[in-house]
Amino acid sequence: MNILVTGGAGFIGSNFIRHMQSKYEYTIVNLDLLTYAGNLQNLLGIVEKERYHFVQGDICDRELVTNIFHQFDIQAVIHFAAESHVDKSIDNPEKFLNTNVIGTQVLLDTARQYWKVNQTDKYCTNYKENVKFLQISTDEVYGALGKDGYFTEESNLSPNSPYSASKASADMLVKAYYATYKLPVVTTRCSNNYGPYQYPEKLIPLMIHHAINDIPLPVYGDGKQIRDWLHVEDHCTAIESVFHNGRLGEVYNIGGNNEKENIEVVKLVLKYLNKSESLIEFVQDRLGHDRRYAIDNSKIRQELGWYPCCSFDKGIANTIQWFLENNKRTNIPYTNQLC
């Protein structure tokens, strides 16, 4: 099978390519624009493999995407590519709409056209066998939770940032292409990921980076925002399960069952690194900052037999150790912008 992975030089995408290449004989074509968060060093050891091809480019470039489908006979799409930093979406919403919405539409439309059995029928809804479009999304499309309860696949979409609104819009396009054109699609929505190869702008890698370098650790508001943490390797195995066995047209929530307050995570990082909590610096809260996310992952557990294997204590320890060993490679200027 020939798979197009978009955003494969980023954090989750590169981990997923590594995971799949270690288990299967698939040919993977990685399309990535290599913006600031994309790094080909994330794929060292993969680039030499015959079953891997890298194309630098924009998912909004319809001609390029079409050429990739024809050149490599793409049979599946796993769509990671997205602008994902909430703060940056507040500063520049248009960029997020272009990449996350228009880029997704270009991929959907190209897949629909290329996978049609009857190329002369404009609205043909019969497709080649075993093709599939997998949309990788986020729990942020659901908005914020109260103190109790969990997001399920039936929860209403209620995004509260330009980033989450753009992802919700992309999810709705995927749903519409299934309902209208019968395009074989599946969507996953994950909780907050952490692990190796993550660009140091999100909470955990930024806190690790700052603590290692004795830079103040910026924490939004009172730091009591709650997130469900999912190790990236667990996320990769979940995507693998959905890709192979997920029901077409369905949504699967992927959660790690690790709810933690941000301040708890920050203090844990400092403890592992034997650093003083005096490095914590509370900063003005983000606009429209959601208070709590938590995912009910019972659907994927019951239907596909997937469950998270990595405990947070083990995962955070391994992640900190990875950043200690790769500190120079991930070095960035001081910032108080975090996710």
CA 240, 97, 227, 326: dihedral to nearest 10 degrees?
Answer: 70
Is-catalytic flag, 50?
no
Neighbours of 284 (CB within 10 A): 9
Return the bridge partners of 228, or none: 259
**Residue 327, phi then psi, degrees to nearest 5:** -60, -40
**Residue 199, phi then psi, degrees to nearest 5:** -65, 135
Collapsing DSSP to helix, strand or coil, 300 comes out as helix
Q: 233 is written with which tokens?
A: 């390797």
R_g of the chain computed on alpha carbons: 20
Pick the closest to residue 32 from 93, 99, 89, 98 (CA basis). 99
Residues 6+ positions from 1 with CB-CB distance below 8 Å: 26, 27, 75, 76, 130
Instruction: Give DSSP secondary structure letters for 108-147.
Output: HHHHHHHHBS-TT-TT---B-TT-EEEEEEEGGGG----S
Residue 200 is given by DSSP the state T
Is-catalytic flag, 140?
yes
The rounded distance, in Å, linking the Cα atoms of 222 and 286 is 11
Pick the closest to residue 242 from 172, 168, 318, 153 (CA basis). 153
Is-catalytic flag, 36?
no
The rounded distance, in Å, linking the Cα atoms of 238 and 220 is 30
Residue written as token pair 């403890």: 271
Q: 318 is written with which tokens?
A: 């391994």
Is 176:112 a contact under the CB 8 Å cutoff?
no
Collapsing DSSP to helix, strand or coil, 211 comes out as helix
Q: Which of 163, 177, 178, 197 is catalytic?
A: 163
Q: Which of 32, 83, 87, 140 is catalytic?
A: 140
Q: Which of 32, 83, 87, 139 is catalytic?
A: 139
Point out the residues that are catalytic.
139-140, 163
